[in-house]
């Protein structure tokens, strides 16, 4: 089954069941400054899920492209992608649990041919306010599942929480494919991270309204929100091992083989995958109606990072020529039927890729010459000094992440602590008089607590980026050793999600972003997209602290002057605080970023 066939089968299946196809939204969320990109299919439909009437009716279906930048560092394995497609269908106050579950089940089994024996599902086991989801259980049993295929979990796994302190919420029922691997333990189930259970999608039943005190009342308009992973279903439908074996990637891989003369094998597997995935993501972002271009902030920063990492990987496999345009043309060819805009924007896509290649390649060439000079004097296992790493950064614009990658390839260590010290010294020299920027702040606070305060802003933004805008700060506590941050979320975070949040914060640290403070009215702050909690405590004029491209938040301060002062961010614990509330404890330190 081709990718185009799967999209058509999905849309046709729900059209036959009276759903109207809604166009995919822009990759840049409309009227939502809390996230840089659309991260889920339901995100553009939030106003309609909250009760606003949709012009196309109460039954909707679409295929939505999404971007989740927290996965950039993980790209190259079998399943992590920065750009992916989500199959979604919705009922806005029309059908409910039984119909939604039945349609999902029949699509997976009848349309895609997934055997009944290979399915497992989870349901909400109930809590002190909500009974066990008997209707969902009875529906799954009536469809042929056995009791041993149904798993019962609490709020952490099977409860969809509102975006903020209050709003629509309810139980959900997730669907999983069961791999042919041994149980890791007697208690192994879909919540286990051993790899036996692969999530296919989720049926969310928006049943209740939660008020600020946590009390639930039944909604007048009960909604269904179903999301299915397109690429994952494509893998299963074709009995493949990973997404790079599908027709979404194979033509790009073959083109790269032809252009480079290098075979796609174990030695070059990760490099090939990163190049193909990143160029595909860059094409989609450049084709978006938001007309994003590479830059040093917000969506443009993500695009620039994708393109430059592609160039870096091309150099890694020993290729000096610009292959971006040829690879981009292959991506356009693959997607022009499903997404005609990529072909319409072909000229713009190729122009921006060429400009960015020339700009970065010129900077990279100078830095590479100096780097090779430094590395040539070192033996395997020896250390590149912090001063040398700083010179590559300061004189040649050589990102520290590239220096680390180069050093790792050569078996050389980088003195990141020394590099950070040099950066801080440079910043202090260039910020004469800046000590009074946060008057009454640094003098009255422990230096590390000020760092942790700034890290809390980045953590808040990172959680919303990775987990979605349902995350809302519920409180925090900072001392000299660690920060504690409470936030709204309905389940335990996965190890990958925790790592993605850490990566987001550390990217901001490595980007050396200045932390700026602006004063404005509360209404102006809200209009700017600044986030904050406990709005009632704010006066007519508020301070808004900005870390460009990462965080914009109402706060009283104090903060560091530049993110690089944080050194390194690490989450040391993620746990439940109360029902629907998670708690993170984290530290900052001037540690080696590779640890």
Is 278 annotated as a binding-site member? no
pLDDT exceeds 80 at position 440: no
Cα separation of 571 and 70, whole Å?
15
Is 80 annotated as a binding-site member? no
Is 457 annotated as a binding-site member? yes
Q: What is the pTM of this model?
A: 0.64
- Whole-number pLDDT of residue 447: 79
pLDDT exceeds 90 at position 457: yes
Mean pLDDT value of segment 94-106:
97
Cα separation of 279 and 252, whole Å?
9
pLDDT exceeds 60 at position 435: no
Cα separation of 72 and 66, whole Å?
13
pLDDT band at 59 (very low <50, low <70, confident <90, very high): very high
Domains of the chain: 3-237 (3.30.930.10), 249-377 (no CATH), 379-430 (no CATH), 436-589 (3.30.980.10)
Q: Structure tokens of 552?
A: 């914009």
- Of 362 and 511, the structure prediction assigns the larger pLDDT to 511
Is 453 annotated as a binding-site member? yes
pLDDT band at 346 (very low <50, low <70, confident <90, very high): very high
- Whole-number pLDDT of residue 222: 93
- Of 195 and 272, the structure prediction assigns the larger pLDDT to 272
- Whole-number pLDDT of residue 541: 62
Which contacts (CB < 8 Å, 24+ apart) does range 242-251 have? 242/78, 242/79, 243/78, 243/79, 243/81, 244/78, 244/273, 244/276, 246/3, 247/2, 247/3, 247/334, 248/3, 248/280, 248/334, 249/273, 249/276, 249/277, 249/280, 251/330, 251/333, 251/334
- Whole-number pLDDT of residue 430: 39
């Amino acid at each position: 089954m081709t990718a185009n066939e799967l999209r058509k089968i999905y849309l046709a299946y729900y059209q036959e069941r009276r759903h109207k196809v809604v166009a995919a939204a822009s990759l840049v969320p409309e009227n939502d400054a809390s996230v840089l990109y659309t991260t889920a299919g339901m995100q553009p439909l939030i106003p309609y899920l909250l009760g606003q009437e949709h012009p196309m009716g109460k039954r909707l279906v679409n295929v939505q492209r999404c971007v989740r930048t927290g996965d950039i560092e993980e790209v190259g394995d079998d399943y992590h992608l920065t750009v992916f497609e989500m199959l979604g269908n919705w009922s806005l106050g029309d059908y409910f649990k039984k119909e939604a579950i039945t349609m999902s089940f029949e699509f997976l089994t009848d349309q895609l041919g997934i055997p009944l024996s290979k399915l497992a599902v989870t349901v909400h086991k109930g809590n002190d306010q909500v009974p066990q989801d008997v209707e969902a259980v009875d529906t799954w049993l009536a469809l042929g599942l056995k009791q041993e295929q149904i798993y019962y979990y609490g709020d952490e796994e099977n409860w969809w929480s509102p975006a903020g302190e209050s709003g629509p919420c309810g139980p959900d029922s997730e669907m999983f494919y069961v791999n042919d691997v041994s149980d890791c333990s007697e208690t192994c189930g879909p919540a286990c991270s051993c790899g036996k259970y692969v999530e296919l999608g989720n049926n969310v039943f928006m049943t209740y309204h939660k008020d600020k005190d946590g009390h639930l009342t039944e909604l007048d308009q009960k909604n269904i929100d179903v999301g299915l992973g397109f690429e994952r279903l494509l893998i299963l439908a074709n009995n493949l091992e990973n997404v790079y074996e599908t027709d979404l990637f194979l033509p790009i891989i073959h083109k790269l083989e032809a252009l480079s003369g290098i075979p796609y094998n174990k030695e070059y597997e990760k490099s090939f995958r990163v190049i193909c995935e990143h160029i595909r993501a860059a094409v989609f972002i450049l084709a978006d109606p938001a007309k994003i271009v590479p830059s040093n902030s917000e969506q443009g920063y993500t695009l620039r990072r994708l393109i430059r990492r592609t160039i870096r990987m091309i150099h890694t496999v020993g290729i000096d020529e610009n292959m971006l345009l040829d690879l981009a043309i292959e991506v356009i060819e693959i997607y022009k039927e499903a997404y005609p805009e990529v072909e319409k924007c072909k000229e713009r896509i190729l122009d921006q890729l060429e400009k960015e290649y020339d700009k970065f390649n010129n900077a990279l060439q100078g830095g590479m010459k100096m780097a090779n000079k430094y590395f040539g004097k070192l033996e395997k296992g020896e250390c590149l000094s912090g001063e040398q790493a700083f010179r590559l950064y300061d004189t040649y614009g050589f990102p520290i992440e590239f220096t680390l990658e180069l050093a790792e390839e050569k078996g050389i260590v980088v003195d990141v602590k020394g590099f950070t010290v040099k950066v801080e010294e440079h910043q202090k020299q260039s910020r004469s008089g800046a000590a009074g920027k946060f008057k009454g702040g640094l003098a009255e606070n422990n230096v590390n607590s000020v760092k942790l305060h700034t890290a809390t802003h980045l953590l808040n933004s990172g959680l919303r980026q990775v987990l979605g805008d349902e995350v809302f700060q519920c409180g925090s506590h900072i001392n000299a050793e660690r920060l504690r941050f409470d936030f709204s979320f309905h389940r335990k975070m996965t190890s990958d999600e925790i790592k993605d949040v850490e990566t987001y914060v550390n990217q901001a640290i490595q980007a050396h972003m200045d932390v700026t403070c602006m004063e404005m009215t509360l209404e102006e702050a809200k209009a700017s997209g600044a986030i904050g909690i406990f709005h009632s405590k704010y006066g007519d004029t508020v301070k808004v602290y900005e870390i460009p491209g990462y965080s914009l938040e109402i706060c009283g301060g104090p903060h560091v002057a530049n993110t690089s002062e944080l050194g390194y961010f690490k989450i040391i614990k993620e746990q439940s605080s109360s029902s629907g509330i998670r708690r993170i404890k984290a530290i900052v330190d001037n540690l080696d970023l590779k640890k």
